Amino acid sequence: MIPQAFDYYAPTSVADALRLLRQHGDDAKLLAGGHSLLPIMKLRLSTPQCLIDLGRISELRFIGEADDGCLAIGAMSTYHDIKNSALVQERVPALAEAAGEVGDVQVQNKGTIGGSLAHADPAGDFPALALALNFELVTATARSGRTIAIDRFFRDLLTTALRPNEILTEVHIPALPAGTGVAYQKLPNKASHYAVVGVAAAITVGDDGVCTDARVGVTGAGATAVRARNTERILKGKHIDAAVIRRAAKRAGANVEDFNDDLHASAEYREHLTTVFAARAIEDALSRAG
Amino acid sequence: MIAGQVSKLIGSRVKRKEDPRLITGEGKYTDDVILPGMAYMAVLRSPYAHARINGIDTAQAAALPDVLGVMTGAEVNERCSEPFPLFAILEGMQYPERWPMAATKANYVGEPVAAVVASSRAAARDALDLIEVDYEPLPVVVDMETAADPDTPVIFEEMGSNLCYEASDQAGDPDRAFAEADGVVEARMEQPRLIPNPMEPRATVADYERSSGNATLWVTTQNPHIERMVVAQMLGMPENKLRVVAIDVGGGFGCKINTYSESLIAIILAQEFGRPVKWAEDRTEHFVSTSHGRGQAQYVQAAYKKDGTLLGMKLKIYADLGAYAQVISHVIPTLTPSLAPGVYACRDIGWTTVGVFTNKIPYDAYRGAGRPEAAYIIERVMDLIADATGKDPVAVRRKNFIPKDAFPYETPTGMIYDSADYDAALDKALAIADYDKLRADQKAQRKDGRIVGVGVTVTTEVCGFGPAAAMGGLGGFESATVRVDPMGKVTVLTGASPHGQGEETSFAQIVADDLGVPFDDVEVIHGDTSIVARGVGTFGSRTLVVGGTAIVKANEQIKEKAKLIATALLENKIEDTLDPQLVTLEDGLFSVQDMPDQYVTWAEVGAEAYDGQLLPEDLDPGLEAVSFWEPPGLTFPFSAHIATVEIDPDTGEVSLTRYVSVDDCGTVINPTLVEGQIHGGLAQGIGQALLEQAVWDDEGQLVSGSLMDYAMPFAQEFPMFELDRTVTPSPVNPLGAKGIGEMATISATPTVANAVVDALSPLGVTHVDIPMTAERIWRVLQTHRRGRRGGRS
């Protein structure tokens, strides 16, 4: 468990980090917590020549409200920060709760929201929540930066829309309309506590009890986290009762291309779990929407 | 200090003496050893489960800066005068020779192939990537039953088959029992391989002094003297030239009994390169370099009468030894049929045990070693009979118990159970669990569609090894040296080698009570062959019962001599002569009955023992005793456990909702230590029932090769354990104690398994293999919901 030798940089500003990134190009990896990267480096499955540690860039670690009313979270905010943020607890309690269920205390203390999203582990918890909460991802490059909609972010296994010269700097979570409930439910892998399958749901219900909006994110099931669009369609415009939930949950796996099949769960079981946890997340979200 | 203030410590919750040291980071683990000029070793391991080694090119690795040198398997093996010794060779068994490294053929993934020594850990690791090995992959034998098949490729050609042994035997008349039975239950039961994971992985530091030829080996072992014997023998070195040190060892669970290749390689490298050499495995390496446990396929048939009486059993047990037998690993599977009768009076048993070699890392002792596999069989059988006869599992067990007036009881398999009262333990467990209410609640919960189960077991095991005959040449004794110094303080040297169990505390309690000295005046030293008298070590729940008794015996000698010294001192005080027979030791004070004001203390006795001016002529100075004690028999702790579970009908997840553990280990020296053993033991046994299994692919690669993939339980997954005990002293040692290190692990697995099967029984389920993972249970639900039929309710 000794990684190959590498150079280590700990810039204190995004500008410095970008400069280092441009300088080292493909030889460099960004370190944003390290709970995913360092283990694979220790196994020598990843052998970057240089690590640029974003951990000392204080401008990347904040939780606040953006001008447009979005909840803004700096990419280097830890799960611990998110779990304990009064603002997050007030605005999106499900996100604070989920942060408290990631890995263990050590992971929560070091792991970051930006690291989790940029790494795009197929079994990560936050990708499902990011999809359900319609995260906007703000990035920086040496020239400027951009905002990437979460729906266009996860591309493939451990692959995102981020370019090699780009740093994810913050996450914007649009304000939730009144009557919205959010929930995340998962079956934890008993060894790693990653999600075998996890489903996040954000459900908005109008005064008349009709679902006006629904976003459902599924993680753990396939190569990337995906939105369960069929499920959302079934929910929208309906009075959500048990029968609707059942029907909607049944379609939660429809957008998963290939179910993962590994030591921890067969594809068949994962498909089943997707339905089970979709139903649980929807029910839970609905109960919070009132 | 006035000795009279000492209270009785045996039976009380004395805090662990060793904890302040360990929890403040002052423990002396092997990896803490730093020697001047020390270099670091890294081991290149075979990535193939079975491959011929046609050549190794080490030139590039050796040329790296900071690398002192590289040795191949052939070069290391050449330095050994003999292969690894085996003990307790079974009649008719065959086995391959095993040397420290694979020289011409690798037989499991992880087998050492070459070793690098460098001036830093990182450089040693880097060099591994530069060693080029020309492997020629060979057919791989993974499955143990396939391995036994004559058509399967043979791993060790010279043996002609993959069988280590196939041994059949019987007690009584099993055929008659089956002929007379009202029915027969049968099942194939799997005991997955488990991967022991002590907190501290293995490590070793070797230091060699060229001028004297003396070597010192710091190593993570449970038995330093056996380690010394094996290493010295293999290196052709006199034992007195080798010092083995294992002061603090962070758990072992059996996987640190074996003498591993790295001990030998490190010494050989230290000799070759003239530098002390350290090796420490990391967790990932541990998974493929340190022995695994369990791993059996069990074919079980049991004959019963309608009233629930177990008449007889027929067993065929395959045991996956992995690529080599080691120490006494091959004997462990034979403990399974020996203990298969459990706590029941069944006399007619036939069994076949098949030990096979496969292309896997060797198997060895793991907490329970052969007995968990037995308890699992018999306790599942009891539930199968309960199910078949429509009786309550508690009633079936009571029906078959060995009665309490039958002890000592010789089982048909030749074990002599020392003492027990199974009904008493079961009564207590039932009362704590409120069993009748549990069953009533279960009925109601089932009506609500909940999947809930109750599991009950009553188990025993064999431990406290052991008379020499049970040890196959390793020795059945334990040693103790008790030394009183001139200040009257006591030092105890034990040949046992506690590595987390807390005997520094329990031994000090025994001495404090026995001699009447304050607990804090007793130091317990272990784990250094140059300091302590030859010992056997810590395994098989033997430390307290054998090592503790050795201390009691040494104390007797100490007290006898101390009284003679005290007599001289008292005579000096009263200026008169005294009959030493009249001198008594009470609460640490030596006195004679009719002169209560005249007494001497341990400090006075200690001082005089070495000053010696007042000693009578026929009494030598000094106050130290050595005792070697071998028990006349084995101890058989027992337990009654009850677990309740609830199964998530959608996911198949099993939640353990209650766990009642009533255990009997005879005399309890320290309840806190006993409960600690039970808590940890339960966690391991429950983990085995619900989570743990080593998974291999067809190429012999360990798929569950890290703690990210191999699931061990977390404390938060357990309910608060409900513990109680009965106390049935053992007659085989003066303490009346029985080992408790393994009992809870042994009981917990079948208890949880029984609870899960009980939960599923309305669906017609009678057996489910462990580990009862969510997916496995979900599949059972899927299959059985379709063909729903009645079951126990």
Q: How confident is the model at residue A290 (pLDDT cuts 50, 70, 90)?
A: confident
Q: Under DSSP, is residue B274 helix (H, G, I), strand (E, B) or coil? A: coil
The whole-number pLDDT of residue B1 equals 30
Q: How confident is the model at residue A278 (pLDDT cuts 50, 70, 90)?
A: very high
Q: Which of A264, A190, A146, A104 is nearest to B691 (CA)?
A: A190
**Domain annotation covers residue B159:** no
Closest CA of chain B from A191, distance in Å: 4
Residues B459 and B488 in one domain: no
Q: Among partner residues B709, B712, B778, which is closest to A269 by beta-carbon distance?
A: B778
B579, B601, B629 — which closes off a domain? B629
One domain, residues B14 and B41: no
The reply to whether B218 and B96 lie within a common domain is: yes
Residue A63 shares a structural domain with residue A166: yes
Can you give the residue range of the structural domain that contains A38?
A: 7-56
Can you tell me the distance from the alpha carbon of B254 to that of B252, in angstroms, rounded to the nearest whole number?
5
Q: Is residue B187 part of a domain?
A: no
Cα separations (Å) of B22 from A26, B224, B262?
45, 20, 26
Q: Which of A123, A154, A173 is the last residue of a domain?
A: A173
Residue B191 lies in a domain: no
Burial of A66 (0-12, 13-18, 19+ CB in 10 A): middle
CATH number of the domain within which A38 lies: 3.30.43.10
pLDDT, tens only, A206-215: 999 999 999 9
Beta A167-173 vs A71-74: how paired, if at all? antiparallel
CA distances from B429 to B345, B386, B724 (A): 21, 19, 8
- On whether residue A157 sits in a domain, the answer given is yes
Q: What pLDDT, on a 0 to 100 scale, did the predictor assign at position B664?
A: 98
Residues A62 and A51 in one domain: no
Give the domain CATH number at B554.
Answer: 3.30.365.10
A22 and A104 together in one domain: no
Q: Which among B577, B596, B574, B575 has a CA at the least distance from the CA of B587?
A: B596
pLDDT, residue A208, reads 94
Identify the domain boundary among A56, A71, A87.
Answer: A56
Question: Is A256 within a domain?
Answer: yes
CA B316 – CA B336 distance, rounded (Å)? 10
pLDDT of residue B557: 98
Looking at the fold, whether B46 and B63 belong to one and the same domain comes out as yes
Whether B18 and B80 share a structural domain: no
* pLDDT number for residue B596: 81
Distance in angstroms (rounded) separating the CA atoms of residues A189 and A195:
6
Cβ within 8 Å of B, A 61-90: none
Name chain A contacts of B708, Cβ cutoff 8 Å: 39, 191-192
Task: Tell me if B372 sits within 8 A of B352, measured CB to CB.
Answer: no
The answer to whether residue A1 sits within a structural domain is: no
Pairwise CB contact (< 8 Å): A1 & B285? yes
Whether the bond between B408 and the residue before it is cis, its omega within 30 degrees of 0, is yes
Q: Which residue of A has its CA nearest to B703?
A: A263
**Do residue A187 and residue B651 have CB atoms under 8 angstroms apart?**
yes
Does A2 map to a domain? no
Farthest CA pair distance, chain A: 62
Q: Does A119 reside within a domain?
A: yes
The predicted complex's ipTM stands at: 0.96
Report the C-alpha gap between B50 and B177 in whole angstroms: 45
What residues of chain B score a pLDDT lower than 50? 1-6, 789-793
Q: Are residues A167 and A215 in the same domain?
A: no
SS3 of A283, please? Answer: helix
Range of the structural domain that residue B517 is part of: 3-26+477-629
Residue B155 falls inside a structural domain: no
CB atoms within 10 A of CB A250: 16
pLDDT digits (tens, 9 = 90+) for A128-155: 999 999 999 999 999 889 999 999 999 9
DSSP B2: -
pLDDT in tens, A15-45: 999 999 999 989 999 999 998 999 999 999 9
Chain A positions in Cβ-Cβ contact with residue B651 (cut-off 8 Å)? 187, 273, 276
Q: Is residue A71 part of a domain?
A: yes
Domains contained in chain A, number? 3
Angle between helices B332-339 and B371-389 (to 10 degrees): 30
Contact of A147 with chain B, judged by CB distance below 8 Å, is answered with no
Residues B383 and B298 in one domain: yes
Distance CA B327, CA B474 (A): 9
Question: Do B313 and B280 belong to one domain?
Answer: no
Same domain for B431 and B484: no
Q: Which residues of A touch B781 (CB under 8 A)?
A: none
Q: What is the number of domains present in chain B? A: 3
Residue B87 lies in a domain: yes
B contacts of A2 (beta carbons < 8 Å): 121-122, 125-126
- Say whether both A219 and A269 belong to one domain: yes
First to last CA, chain B: 64
> Is A197 within the bounds of a domain?
yes
Q: Indicate whether A167 and A189 sit together in one domain.
A: no
User: Under an 8 A CB cutoff, do A192 and B708 touch?
Assistant: yes
> Cβ of B708 and A1 within 8 Å?
no
The answer to whether B429 and B306 have CB atoms below 8 angstroms apart is: no
CB contact under 8 A, A2 and B122: yes
Tell whether B351 and B386 lie within a shared domain. Answer: yes
Phi, psi of A26 (to 5 degrees): -65, -15
Say yes or no: A214 and A261 in one domain.
Answer: yes
Residue B36's SS3 state is: coil
Backbone angles phi, psi at A154, to 5 degrees: -80, 120
- Cα B776–Cα B781–Cα B785 angle in degrees, nearest 5: 160
Same domain, residue pair B110 and B234: yes
Element (H, E) at A88: helix A86-91
- CATH number of the domain at A92, please: 3.30.465.10
Give chain B's largest Cα–Cα span.
95
Q: What digits encode the pLDDT tens for the residues B601-620?
A: 999 999 999 999 999 999 99
| pTM of this structure | 0.96
| Chain B residues lying within 8 Å of A269, measured CB to CB | 775, 778-779
Question: Is B483 within the bounds of a domain?
Answer: yes
Residue at token pair 């090796």: B279
In this structure, are A212 and A158 located in the same domain?
A: no
Compute CA distances B471 → B88, B196, B227, B537, whole Å: 7, 23, 15, 12
DSSP structure string for B724-754: EE-----TTSTT-B---SSHHHHHHHHHHHH
pLDDT digits (tens, 9 = 90+) for B97-144: 999 999 999 999 999 999 999 999 999 999 999 999 999 999 999 999
Please give the residue of chain B at the shortest CA–CA distance from A266. B775
Residues of A in contact with B703 (CB under 8 A): 263
**Which two structure tokens, joined as six digits, stand for B596?**
């209560």
Task: Please tell me if residue B653 touches chain A, with a CB cutoff of 8 Å.
Answer: yes
Residues A259, A198 share a domain:
yes
Q: Is A176 helix (H, G, I), strand (E, B) or coil?
A: coil
Is B727 in the A-facing interface, judged by CB distances under 8 Å? no
A14 in any annotated domain: yes
Nearest to B483 by CA among B627, B625, B628, B629: B625
Domain closes at, from B570, B599, B629: B629
In the stretch 742-781 of chain B, residues with CB closer than 8 A to chain A read: 773-775, 778-779
Q: Please answer yes or no on whether B122 and A273 come within 8 Å at the CB atom.
A: no
Query: What's chain B's length in residues?
Result: 793
Rounded-to-integer distance, Cα A114 and Cα B782, Å: 40
Phi and psi dihedrals of B691, rounded to 5? -130, -45
Q: Would you state the structure tokens that stand for residue B41, as one six-digit string?
A: 């070793």
**Rounded-to-integer distance, Cα B560 and Cα B539, Å:** 32
CA distance A185 to chain B (A): 12
Q: Are residues B399 and B357 in the same domain?
A: yes
Is B536 a domain residue? Answer: yes
Strand boundaries in B331-435, DSSP class E = 348-356, 409-410, 416-417
Together in a domain, B482 and B456: no
Structure tokens at B685: 């046994």
Same domain, yes or no: A15 and A99: no
**φ, ψ (nearest 5 deg) of residue B464:** 75, 45
| Cα B477 from Cα B635, distance rounded (Å) | 14
B143 occurs within a structural domain: no
